[in-house]
Amino acid sequence: MGEARMPLLGDKFPEMEVQTTHGKIKLPDHYKGKWFILFSHPADFTPVCTTEFVAFQKRYEEFKKLGCELIGLSIDQVFSHIKWVEWIKEKLGVEIQFPIIADDTGQMAQQLGLIHPGKGTNTVRAVFIVDPEGTVRAILYYPQELGRNMDEILRMVKGFQVSDREGVAIPANWPDNELIGDEVIIPPAADVKTAEERPKQYECYDWWFCHRKL
């Protein structure tokens, strides 16, 4: 039996049963048929993490409209998560509605590569975007001192869904790209004949850089 390693892009998210603020959940089966975002945070009752949880909650309905669920994680115990969620609701007026994993043994964090040398035992700010088939589509890592941009994570889910549905690539800063606005990129031609036909079919800068509206 090989040593466990953190998942890479294109891998299946590892199967595991986790304790959360909403009870025990089996991943990735619990979200089968849905996208989900698992994100880790260094610790409960810390300022940057608190701003992140509020930011995720403020966008939770937008994620759900995309068929995407959220699930948090840290190595704190479940009672700490529950108390922190209560504090956020009482002091900030925001009710955290998605579950938070209590990985107090650190086993899940080790398996997912969430604990980095030189930063103690706290989990880093990692994000795993997982598709409805349980495949890891994106992995983001942030240091403890820098909070995440939730609008970018939301944009990534939208972009993946458009790419999967339309068979296209997504340009930088989409849907506000500096060259083609909200249009999408046609995959490169794989043969000479297709390359010759591309400029007749689409708007192109050249045969290898063609784009279209959705």
Residue 20 token pair: 């959360």
- Separation of alpha carbons 112 and 108, rounded Å: 6
Residues marked active site are found at 49
Residue 54 token pair: 């509020």
Only one residue has tokens 């049963």, namely 17
Pairing of strands 136-142, 125-130: antiparallel
Whose CA is closest to 136, among 170, 160, 114? 160
List residues bridging with 70 in a β-sheet. Answer: 37
List residues bridging with 16 in a β-sheet. Answer: 27
Residue 91 token pair: 């002091």
Ranges of beta strands (E only) in the chain are: 16-20, 23-27, 35-40, 68-74, 100-102, 125-130, 136-142, 184-185, 203-206, 209-212
**How remote is the C-alpha of 129 from its chain's centroid?**
3
Neighbours of 9 (CB within 10 A): 10
